[in-house]
């Protein structure tokens, strides 16, 4: 457990999609960092935990924490 005076906060964009099994959550800035949940709220809590564990792993291994590179988030309509 880390000493509270050394804790830092980070903000990362997360993508959440509904699928047939519930909700899928992904953090594009952290390669391979994803989770899921039966509900939207559960998926959000699970991806927060996944991000925290991912960042802790980077710090323990003395690796740099990537900065989010998301430029825009939008939906587009396409006709086929």
Q: What pLDDT digit, counting tens, does each position of 10-68 carry?
A: 899 999 999 999 999 999 999 999 999 999 999 999 999 999 999 999 999 999 999 88
pLDDT range class, residue 1, cuts 50, 70, 90: low
CATH number of the structural domain 10-80? 3.30.160.250
List of residues 6+ apart from 11 with CB closer than 8 A? 68
Kindly list the domain boundaries of the chain, sorted by start residue: 10-80
Q: Give the phi and the psi of residue 13 in degrees, each rounded to 5.
A: -70, 145
What is the pTM assigned to this prediction?
0.81
CA distance 68 to 5: 24
d(CA 27, CA 74): 16
**15-19 and 34-37 strand pairing:** unpaired
């Amino acid at each position: 457990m880390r000493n509270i005076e050394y804790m830092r906060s980070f903000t990362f964009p997360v993508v959440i999609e509904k699928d047939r099994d519930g909700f899928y959550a992904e953090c594009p800035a952290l390669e391979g960092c994803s989770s899921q949940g039966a509900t939207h709220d559960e998926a959000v809590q699970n991806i927060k935990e996944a991000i925290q564990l991912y960042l802790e792993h980077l710090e323990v291994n003395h690796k740099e924490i990537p900065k989010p590179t998301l430029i825009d988030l939008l939906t587009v309509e396409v006709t086929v």
